[in-house]
Chain A
Amino acid sequence: MATTTTEIPRKFHQAVEKWRDTYLPDFAYLMENWDRYFPRDDKFRLCAYRECGMPCSIECGEDQGKPKYTRACDMKPEAAHHLVSAIRAQASTEFGSIQQHQLTLARAQDEEEQAMVLRMMAEELRHGYQMLHLLTDDDWQPITGQTQEQTVEEILSMKTGSHVLGAFNIDFESFVDNIVFCALIDRVGKYQLTLQKVSAYSPMADSMPQMLREEAFHLATGVVPLRRWVVKAAAGSPMITMEVIQKHLNKWVPRAYEMFGDERGGATNVKWGLKPMKNAESQDQYAKECAKVVRDLNMRYLRARLPELTLAEAEEGLAALERDRGTFRGVKFDDLLRLPHREYGRRRGVPAFRWIGVDGETFESVEAYLSHLTRTLPDGYRATRDFQDFVDNLRAVARGEKTADEAQKAMPQLRRVGGVCPCSKSVRWVADEAIELPSSAVGA
C-alpha cells in the first residue's frame, strides 16, 4: 500500500483553500477537534495521493494488454475527450456534495454523526482536489480548448444547480438527507471509483485506491446512523420514523440509479479501457447492494421491536414478512423499509417518465401517479423547483407534447446569475439549454 503524495500548483491549491473557507466553514473546527473525534487517525491533509505498484497494462477493451497511458496526448482523441469529461464530472460531484452537506450539517441531533459527516466532507474536498490534480498535472488543452486556469475556475465556480449530475443539484432539507445521501449516493461513487481503478489512463487508476479507502468510511457514515435511527424508530421516537426514512430512500434512490448513466450506454468506456463494465451491469450490482442495506436495516428494526426474539426467530420472522407481506408478532410488512422499484420516479434513462410506483405498480393516469408521488416523497422535497420541473415534464410527456427523451434533456438547471447589485448572486432556474450527460456518469 505504498503511495506518493503531491500538491497541485500553488495558485490552484490556494484556490481550493479559498473554496474550502467558503463552502466548508467548519473545516477549522474539524482540525481543532480531530483528536477528540478521531483519536489515533492520521490528521487530514489536502493533497493528492497516487498508489504505487498498480497494473501497467490496459485491463479491458480493445487495447487490453497494451501499456497504460501516462499522458492524455498519447490517447485517441475521442477517448481522451471522454476521459476528461469524466474527470471534470467527478470533480464537480466531489465539490458539489460538500455544498449540499453544508446546508444541513448544523441540524444533526448527534454530535458523533455530525463529526463523521464533517470528516467525510473534508475527504470529499480531497477527492475533488485529486481530480484537479489530474487536470493540472497533464496538458488537456488540445482536447478541451481550455487553459488549466479556465478548467479549475469552471469547476470551482459550480454551485448547487449547475453541477454536472442531477443528484448534486438537489438541496438538502434536513440531516436525514446527509445520512441517506452518504448511504446511497456515495455508494454510487464507490462503484465509479472501483470501475475507474482499471482505467487505461494510469494517473486516473493510481488515484482511485486512496479515494476508495476514504469512501469506505463515507458509506459507514451513512449506514451506521441509519441502523441507529431504525432502532429509535422502533422505540417510537418522535425524532425519526420509518416513514421519514422511506420517503428519503424514495427521494434519492432514483437519482442514484441515474448516476450510472443510461441503461443502454457504457460500451464506449469499456472499448477504450476506461471502465470494465457497462452502465446496466453496474446498476444491477448497485441495486443488489442497496437491497442488502435495506434488508439489514429491517432486521435491525425487527429485533429492536421484538427484542425477545432469538437470531433464528428473527431471521424466520423477517423472511415471513418479506414472503407474505403480512404481520409478524405485531410488526407489519408496511412498517419495514423497502427499496424503491428501479423504474420509480425516474427522469433519465430507459424508464424516464414512466408511471411506476415504489413497489413497481402501474397507474392509469398521470394524476394518479402524481398522487402516489405526493404520498411517497418527503414534504419538503415536493415543495422544490426540482420536483415541480419533474412534474411539469411528466405532464408534458403524458399530453404527448414531448417524448420521454426530449423531456429528460429539458429538465432545467438551477443557475446563480450575477448582476449589478452586490446581493444579486441569486438563484434562478434556467431552461434554455439541454443538459448533456456523459454516457457514463460518475459520483462522489
Chain B
Amino acid sequence: MPRRGAPLSAEAIQVRSLTELDLDGIVRIGEKTRNRYEPDLWEGRVTYYLRRAPEGSLVAEVDGEVAGFMLGDVRSGEFGIEEQCGWIEVMGVDPEFAGRGVGRALAEEMLRRYAARGVRKVRTMVDSSMPEVEAFFTRLGFAADTLRSYRMDLDMSPVPGRD
C-alpha cells in the first residue's frame, strides 16, 4: 500500500494548465493507478485535450513533479444536453499523494475556470464500484443527476448462417 502523508498546504500544490511535457507524468500515474503501462493511450488523450483547449485540462505539481491531473472539456449537444456543459472526464492522482488535497486542488481550479468561461453546469460520470471517487465528488458538492449511464453487452458469438 502506498504511504499516505499529511494533507499538503495550498502553496505546496501548484495547479496549472496541461502541457505536452506532462505526458510522462500522466503515463506514470496511469501505470501506478491502473497497473498498466499505456503511453499510446495517454499520448492520444493528451493530444486531444491540448487540441481542444489546453486551459481546460489541468495538472497539479508537488515539488516540480506531476502529482495529479484532470482532463476536461466544455461541450454541448450530447445526450440531449443543449447548454454548454463542463465535463470532468479523466482524473488521476499519484497514489503517493492520495488523500493529501491534490484532487481537491485540481477540481477547485477546474470549477473556477469553468465558471470563468460562463459554464453553469459541470458533469462527470463515476463508476459506483469506486466509492472513494464518488465520495470525492460528493464532498466537492456534486450530486446525482437525472442523467444515467446505461449499458448493453453485445453478443459477439457468431450469428448462425453467417460467416
CA distance A220 to B52 in the complex (A): 12
Q: Is the CB of B20 within 8 A of A223?
A: yes
Q: Is the CB of B39 within 8 A of A220?
A: no
Give the residue of B19, B24, B75 whose beta carbon is less than 8 angstroms from that of A40. Answer: B75
Would you give the shortest CB distance from B72 to chain A, in whole angstroms? 14
Q: Is the CB of A228 within 8 A of B43?
A: yes
CB neighbours of A299 from chain B (8 A): 24
CB neighbours of A224 from chain B (8 A): 20, 23, 43, 46-47
Would you give the shortest CB distance from A297 to chain B, in whole angstroms? 9
Question: Is B8 an interface residue, CB under 8 A from the partner?
Answer: no
Q: Is the CB of B117 within 8 A of A227?
A: no
CB neighbours of B51 from chain A (8 A): 38, 41, 217, 220
B-side binding surface: helix, strand, loop or mixed?
helix
Q: Is the CB of A41 within 8 A of B52?
A: yes
CB neighbours of A217 from chain B (8 A): 47, 50-51, 54
Question: Is A296 an interface residue, CB under 8 A from the partner?
Answer: yes
Query: In the complex, what residue of chain A is closest to B75 when comparing beta carbons?
Result: A40
CA distance A151 to B40 in the complex (A): 45
- Chain B 85-138 residues near chain A, CB threshold 8 A: 113, 116-118
CA distance A219 to B22 in the complex (A): 12
CA distance A153 to B54 in the complex (A): 34
- Chain A 292-313 residues near chain B, CB threshold 8 A: 292-293, 296, 299-300, 303, 311
CB neighbours of B20 from chain A (8 A): 216, 219-220, 223-224
Q: Is the CB of B24 within 8 A of A216?
A: no
Query: In the complex, what residue of chain B is closest to A289 when comparing beta carbons?
Result: B21
Would you give the shortest CB distance from B78 to chain A, in whole angstroms? 10
Q: Is the CB of A220 within 8 A of B47?
A: yes
CA distance A219 to B54 in the complex (A): 11
The number of inter-chain residue pairs (CB within 8 angstroms) is 61
CA distance A303 to B40 in the complex (A): 13
Question: Is A1 an interface residue, CB under 8 A from the partner?
Answer: yes
Q: Is the CB of B116 within 8 A of A1?
A: yes
CA distance A207 to B80 in the complex (A): 35
Q: Is the CB of A213 within 8 A of B54?
A: yes
- Chain A 202-224 residues near chain B, CB threshold 8 A: 212-213, 216-217, 219-220, 223-224
Would you give the shortest CB distance from A312 to chain B, in whole angstroms? 10
CB neighbours of A311 from chain B (8 A): 28, 31-32, 37
Q: Is the CB of A40 within 8 A of B23?
A: no
Q: A216-B19, A223-B20 are in contact. Are A303 and B47 (CB under 8 A)?
A: no
CB neighbours of B52 from chain A (8 A): 40-41
- Chain B 14-52 residues near chain A, CB threshold 8 A: 17-21, 23-24, 28, 31-32, 37, 39-40, 43, 46-47, 50-52
Question: Is B53 an interface residue, CB under 8 A from the partner?
Answer: yes
Would you give the shortest CB distance from B109 to chain A, in whole angstroms? 14
Q: Is the CB of A1 within 8 A of B19?
A: no
CA distance A293 to B31 in the complex (A): 20
Sampled A-B contacts (26; CB under 8 Å): A1-B55, A1-B113, A1-B116, A38-B51, A40-B75, A116-B47, A212-B54, A213-B53, A213-B54, A216-B17, A216-B50, A219-B20, A220-B46, A223-B20, A223-B23, A224-B20, A224-B23, A224-B46, A227-B23, A227-B39, A227-B43, A228-B40, A292-B21, A293-B21, A311-B31, A311-B32
Report the interface size for chain A: residues with CB under 8 A from the other chain. 24
Question: Footprint of A on B, CB under 8 Å?
Answer: 17-21, 23-24, 28, 31-32, 37, 39-40, 43, 46-47, 50-55, 75, 113, 116-118
CB neighbours of A40 from chain B (8 A): 52, 75
CA distance A212 to B54 in the complex (A): 9
**3 closest A-B pairs by CB:** A216-B54, A220-B20, A296-B24
CA distance A38 to B50 in the complex (A): 12
CA distance A228 to B47 in the complex (A): 13
CA distance A70 to B157 in the complex (A): 69
CA distance A375 to B19 in the complex (A): 34
CA distance A299 to B75 in the complex (A): 35
Q: A227-B43, A311-B32 are in contact. Are A220 and B50 (CB under 8 A)?
A: yes
Query: In the complex, what residue of chain B is closest to A304 when comparing beta carbons?
Result: B39
CB neighbours of B118 from chain A (8 A): 2
Query: In the complex, what residue of chain B is closest to A228 when comparing beta carbons?
Result: B43
CB neighbours of A38 from chain B (8 A): 51
CB neighbours of B32 from chain A (8 A): 311
CA distance A129 to B52 in the complex (A): 21
CA distance A223 to B21 in the complex (A): 8
Give 1 or 0 for each of A108-121: 1 = CB within 8 Å of chain B CB.
00000000100000
Q: Is the CB of A219 within 8 A of B28?
A: no
CB neighbours of A293 from chain B (8 A): 21
Would you give the shortest CB distance from B28 to chain A, in whole angstroms? 6
CA distance A19 to B46 in the complex (A): 33
CB neighbours of B55 from chain A (8 A): 1, 213
Query: In the complex, what residue of chain B is closest to A311 when comparing beta carbons?
Result: B31
CB neighbours of B31 from chain A (8 A): 311
CA distance A227 to B117 in the complex (A): 33
CA distance A223 to B19 in the complex (A): 11
Query: In the complex, what residue of chain A is closest to B28 when comparing beta carbons?
Result: A311
Q: Is the CB of A1 within 8 A of B23?
A: no
CA distance A293 to B24 in the complex (A): 9
Would you give the shortest CB distance from A416 to chain B, in whole angstroms? 35
CB neighbours of A227 from chain B (8 A): 23, 39, 43
CB neighbours of B17 from chain A (8 A): 216
Would you give the shortest CB distance from A179 to chain B, in whole angstroms? 13
Query: In the complex, what residue of chain A is closest to B18 when comparing beta carbons?
Result: A216
Would you give the shortest CB distance from B13 to chain A, in whole angstroms? 20
